[in-house]
Amino acid sequence: MIFLRLWHQSLLSTLPKSQLLAQWRELNSIFAKEDRHILINYIYDYPKDDLFAYTQLVLREMRARDINIRTVDKMERYFANGPFEKVTHPFVHHHNEEYFEICYFNLKEKFMRGQKDFDAERYEALTKMYVVEMGK
């Protein structure tokens, strides 16, 4: 069973590499099959501008970490009818404070359970971001 999730865009820089790579795979699955899943169905309520903007954020983070992006053909086909409007906060009504917190606790559990590529430094950055975003 596949569990699709588009992580809150504010957390992309704190994702362990495995989560970031999985995010790219999930996006490619959406591009190829327009997957439906309870955790991502909301994306189809938005214009493609939002998914395009979100995808650019994921690509930017992957490039910042020097992660090799082998293929973008599915993405290019999916977004072939562009250009797209600039969106500063993709999925604004869903990627809100509550969703940020849901994603944070999901990642916190991964760290607590010993995910191999989730080091203490990345977890500390995640926790600092949580404190700033949530005022806690």
Mean pLDDT by 10 residues, the chain (136 residues): 79 95 93 85 94 97 94 94 93 96 95 93 94 83
Q: Is residue 30 part of a domain?
A: yes
Are 64 and 103 contained in the same domain?
no
- Please give the structure tokens belonging to residue 95: 């990627």
**Whole-number Å distance between alpha carbons of 119 and 2:** 25
CA distance 77 to 80: 5
**Which tokens belong to 28?**
């490619």
Q: What is the pLDDT of residue 1?
A: 39
Q: Tell me, yes or no, whether 47 lies in a domain.
A: yes
The whole model's pTM is what? 0.91
- Same domain, yes or no, for 27 and 66? yes
Into how many domains does the chain fold?
2
How many C-beta atoms lie closer than 10 Å to residue 77's C-beta?
Answer: 10
Pair (20, 80) in one structural domain: yes
The pair of structure tokens assigned to 108 is: 């916190």
Structure tokens at 50: 């939002």
Domain extent, residue 52, equals: 13-87
- pLDDT for the residue 136: 67
Residues 80 and 107 in one domain: no
Q: Write down the pLDDT at residue 74.
A: 95
